């Protein structure tokens, strides 16, 4: 029982640290530099830019229904940890938005895109190592693929691309779209490196948001 408690504490510690990295990437890099990014984080930034809805609130409101929808797929343990990660990411996003919205971004956008992607990838990898998930984006893709002949990874790619394209339209800049793609590559590379010693299926790695 003691070993289980220590393991749970370690997992929640990793998830908490991951939430910090994800919140930092969203607020200090992507939102501050007007860089497109996929997933709920990207949608949250769009809502913030167009409707002035706080990023943290949007992250929670977008993810919560998706996670509840996928409860049976996740199981109780991962469900609880994922809800915790989403709630903490939302809270940290609000705190960091007050302090860091302009303090980290550079004047070299490719650097912001790569660094933001690296921060996001680090956060996601830490959550995976903590036996959690960063949100319900992968679950939405799973539901769509289960009700169609489209493969899961294809659905994820299309969803991410649509969000990045929508972000580019909001920013009215093609470079925002290009920088978003650069961020995705950076994020994917970091996740691959940090999770290389752990056996994770492609579907798990693709739970990128």
- Is residue 58 scored above 70 in pLDDT? yes
Residue 209 banded pLDDT, cuts 50, 70, 90: very low
Q: What's the confidence (pLDDT) of residue 197?
A: 61
Nearest to 125 by CA among 31, 178, 193: 193
Distance CA 124, CA 143 (A): 21
pLDDT at 200: 44
- Read off the pLDDT of residues 180-205 as tens digits, 9 standing for 90 and up: 889 888 988 898 888 876 444 444 44
CA atoms within 13 A on the CB side of 66: 24
Supply the range of the domain harboring residue 168.
Answer: 2-205
By the 8 A CB rule, do 164 and 180 touch? yes
Q: In this model, does residue 68 exceed pLDDT 70?
A: yes
Q: Which residue has the higher pLDDT, 144 or 59?
A: 59
Q: What is the pTM of this model?
A: 0.79
Average pLDDT of 141-169?
Answer: 77
Give the pLDDT confidence of 110-119 residue by residue, as tens digits: 998 999 999 9
The total domain count for the chain is 1
pLDDT at 151 over 60: yes
């Amino acid at each position: 029982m003691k070993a289980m408690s220590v393991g749970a504490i370690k997992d929640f510690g990793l998830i908490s640290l991951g939430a910090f990295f994800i919140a930092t990437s969203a607020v200090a890099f992507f939102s501050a530099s007007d860089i497109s990014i996929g997933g709920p984080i990207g949608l949250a930034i769009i809502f913030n830019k167009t409707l002035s809805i706080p990023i943290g609130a949007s992250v929670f409101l977008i993810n919560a229904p998706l996670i509840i929808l996928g409860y049976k797929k996740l199981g109780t343990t991962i469900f609880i940890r994922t809800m915790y990660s989403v709630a903490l990411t939302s809270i940290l996003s609000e705190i960091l938005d007050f302090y860091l919205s302009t303090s980290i971004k550079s004047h070299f956008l490719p650097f912001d895109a790569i660094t933001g992607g690296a921060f996001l990838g680090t956060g996601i990898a830490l959550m995976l190592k903590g036996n959690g998930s960063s949100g319900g984006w992968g679950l939405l893709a799973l539901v769509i693929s289960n009700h169609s002949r489209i493969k899961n990874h294809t659905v994820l790619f299309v969803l991410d691309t649509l969000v990045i394209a929508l972000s580019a339209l909001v920013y009215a800049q093609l470079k925002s779209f290009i920088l978003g793609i650069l961020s995705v590559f950076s994020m994917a590379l970091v996740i691959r490196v940090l999770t290389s010693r752990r056996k994770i299926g492609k579907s798990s790695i693709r739970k990128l948001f």
